[in-house]
Every structure is written in structure tokens, then in C-alpha cells.
Amino acid sequence: MKVKALIAMAVSLGLSAAHAQEMSDEAIKERTKPYGELNVAGAQTAAATTAKARTPEEIFNGACAMCHASGLMGAPRANNAADWQPRLDERGLDGVWQNALNGINAMPPRGTCTDCSDDDIKATIEYMIEGI
């Protein structure tokens, strides 16, 4: 009886040690994630939102508005001709589209909408400039 109790204790200690090991492996994985996966909470929320939302307006509101509504970090403001016209004159729609896909300066690749297709991004840019 006493031996059984000791074995039970040893087993449960062993299990919790294994569990602790698992936890710290997880913690290490979390800490050693590639930099690109560490994202601001807002961007993660945006990506989660746009995973379901597919109209350009929804993509804009979910992923782009946080910068392109107010001009954060120099982002060209949506439907603001003064912000967009020089870029369109210089590179055309295809040029700004390529930069949006690849990222440029403070503009993150795909504007953080990692699951947006190339066409989703183009349609969202058209939505952003349709009023200029």
C-alpha cells in the first residue's frame, strides 16, 4: 500500500515535470519566433478581421485605416488627392500596387493583411483613391 502510494506520487511528479518541460519549450518557441510574426496587437486584430472580410471597404477598415485614415507615419490619407496624386503621377497604379505588396519604408508588406490576395490589395488601393 505504502509502496503504491510512493509510486503514484513519483508518477505524478514525473508527469508534472514533463508538463513543465513542455511549457518551457512553448515559451522558448514563443520567444524565438521570427521577428515578422511578432506583431502589434492592432495589426493582429486587423488580420483576423480581414480573414473573413473581403470587400475592399472591409479590408481597408480592418487593415489599412489605422494608418491611411489619419496619415500615421506619413501614410497617404485615403481619398486625399494631395497625398496620392504625386505617387500616382510617378509610379502609376501598378507602381503603388507593387510597393503595397512588397512594403515600402513604414508601409508593411500587404499593409499587414497577410491573407489578402494581390487583387484584394489592388481593389483596396482603388477604394482608397476612388474619391480623389
Helix (H, G, I), strand (E, B) or coil at 118: helix
Which residues between 82 and 101 bind ligand HEC (CB under 6 A)? 87, 91, 95-96, 99-100
Query: What distances in angstroms separate CA 72 from CA 56, 76, 106, one per listed residue?
Result: 20, 8, 9
Nearer to ligand HEC, 14 or 68 (CB): 68
> Considering only 4-12, 13-21, 31-39, 105-113, which stretch makes contact with ligand HEC by CB under 6 A?
105-113
Rounded Cα distance, 125 and 60, in Å: 8
In the complex, least distance from residue 5 CB atom to ligand HEC, rounded to whole angstroms: 59
Contacts of 109 (CB under 8 A, 6+ apart): 101, 102, 103
Nearer to ligand HEC, 53 or 124 (CB): 124
Helix (H, G, I), strand (E, B) or coil at 107: strand
In the complex, least distance from residue 34 CB atom to ligand HEC, rounded to whole angstroms: 18
- Give the largest CA-CA distance in the chain: 86
Residues that bind ligand HEC (CB under 6 A): 59, 63-64, 66-68, 72-76, 87, 91, 95-96, 99-100, 104-108, 110-113, 121, 124-125
